[in-house]
Amino acid sequence: MEKLLVKFETDPAVNSDWNGYIAAANAYLKAGFKEKAVKMLKKSEQFIKGTLRRFGYEILLTLYATVGNKADVYRIWDLYKTLDGKFLNAGYVCMISSLLKLDDLEGTERTFEEWMSRHKLIDFWVPNLLIRAYCNKGLLKKAEHLVSRMIEKGEEPTLVTWDILIAGCHGNNQMEKAVDTMKKALMATPQGRKPNPVTLRACLEYLKDKGDVEVAENFIRLLREHNLVSACDSDRLMNYIRNEEPGSNSIPQMLFDHEVVDSETEMQLWI
C-alpha cells in the first residue's frame, strides 16, 4: 500500500485526488490500521473542493465514525453546515447514522432536533433512525413519543416505522404492546402491505399462549379485512389458535411469503 501511495503522490502522470485517499483509508480500515486510515482521511480533505464538498463530507462523516473519531465527525459536520444550497436529508442521515455508530445518543437527539427545525416538509426517513436506536436501547416510550410527535405534525408513519416499533416491543418482551402496535399498523397502512412476518408470528403465538381466543380471532379478522391473508389461510389461523387443526403446532408458512422491507429499500420508497 505504501509503495502505491508514493507513486500516487509523486508520479506526475497520476492525478492525485480525494477519491484515491478515501480508497486508501478504506483499505487501511479493512486491514485494521486505524491510525493510517485517519492520516489518509486528513489528506483527502485537502482535495475536497467546490461542488464535490457535499458528497465528500458525507463520506468523511461515515469514515471518521467508523474509526471512532467523534471530534472529527463534529468538525466535518460543522463544515458541512457552511455549504450553500438546500440542506438535504442525506446529510442528516449520514450525521445521525455516524453518531449512532459512536453511541452518541445525546448528540443524535440534538442533531435530530436541528433537522426538525430546518425542514417544513418532513418524512420518516430521518426519524426512523432515531426510533430504531430507541428501540434497540429499550427506550420504547421515547420511540412511541417520537412517532406520536410526527403524527401530530401531520406525517404518516411508514410500514417500516411500524415494523421498527413492533420489533422493539417484541425484542423487549412487551408483547401486549406489540399486539396493540400491530393493530395500529394494520389500520394505518395501505391494504395489502404486509408487516414483518417474524413479529406477526410472535404476536399470534403470544395470543395463542395467552389463551385469549376472542382477541386472537379479532386480530385474525383484521388481517383478513386488510387482504393480508386469504379466507383459507384465515381459517387455518383460526384453527391454529383454537387447537382444532390436527398436527397444527406452528404458524402457517404463508405468513412468510413476502419480502421484508429493510432500511435501504425504505430509502428508495419513502424519500
Report residue 160 CA to chain centroid gap: 8
Instruction: Give the predicted TM-score (pTM) of the model.
Output: 0.82
What's residue 262's pLDDT?
A: 44
Asked whether the predicted pLDDT for residue 13 surpasses 50, the reply is no
Q: Can you state the percent helix, strand and coil of the chain, rounding each to 5?
A: 70, 0, 30
What's residue 164's pLDDT?
A: 95
pLDDT in tens, 101-132: 999 999 999 999 999 988 766 678 899 999 99
Q: Among all chains, which residue has been given the C-alpha cell 415494523?
A: 163
Using CA atoms, how far residue 87 sits from 55, 90, 115, 224, in Å, is 12, 9, 9, 43
What's residue 73's pLDDT?
A: 98
pLDDT over 90 percentage in the chain: 46
What's residue 201's pLDDT?
A: 87
Asked whether the predicted pLDDT for residue 259 surpasses 50, the reply is no
- Tell me which long-range contacts 34-40 makes (C-beta under 8 A, separation of at least 24): 34/67, 34/68, 37/63, 37/67, 38/64, 38/67, 38/69, 38/72
What's residue 173's pLDDT?
A: 93
Q: Among all chains, which residue has been given the C-alpha cell 417520537?
A: 146
What's residue 9's pLDDT?
A: 54
Q: Among all chains, which residue has been given the C-alpha cell 497520476?
A: 14
> Residue 110 in contact with residue 118, Cβ under 8 Å?
no
What's residue 121's pLDDT?
A: 61
DSSP state of 218: H
16: region left, alpha or beta (phi > 0 left; psi from -120 to 50 alpha) = beta
Kindly indicate the confidence band of residue 7, based on its pLDDT and cuts at 50, 70 and 90: very low
- Residues composing the chain: 271
How many C-alpha atoms does 216 have within 13 Å on its Cβ side? 24
Backbone torsions φ then ψ of 13, nearest 5 degrees: -80, -15
Q: Which of these ranges, 72-76, 154-158, 162-166, has the smallest mean pLDDT?
A: 154-158
Q: Among all chains, which residue has been given the C-alpha cell 428508495?
A: 268
Mean pLDDT of 33-39: 93
Q: Quote the mean pLDDT of the chain.
A: 83
Give the Cα separation of 213 and 203 in Å (integer). Answer: 13
> Residue 186 in contact with residue 222, Cβ under 8 Å?
yes
Backbone torsions φ then ψ of 258, nearest 5 degrees: -160, 165
Helix (H, G, I), strand (E, B) or coil at 49: coil
Alpha helices in the chain (DSSP H): 2-10, 18-31, 34-45, 53-66, 70-80, 89-101, 105-118, 125-136, 140-152, 159-171, 175-188, 197-210, 213-225, 231-242, 263-270
| Residue bearing the bigger pLDDT, 237 or 259 | 237
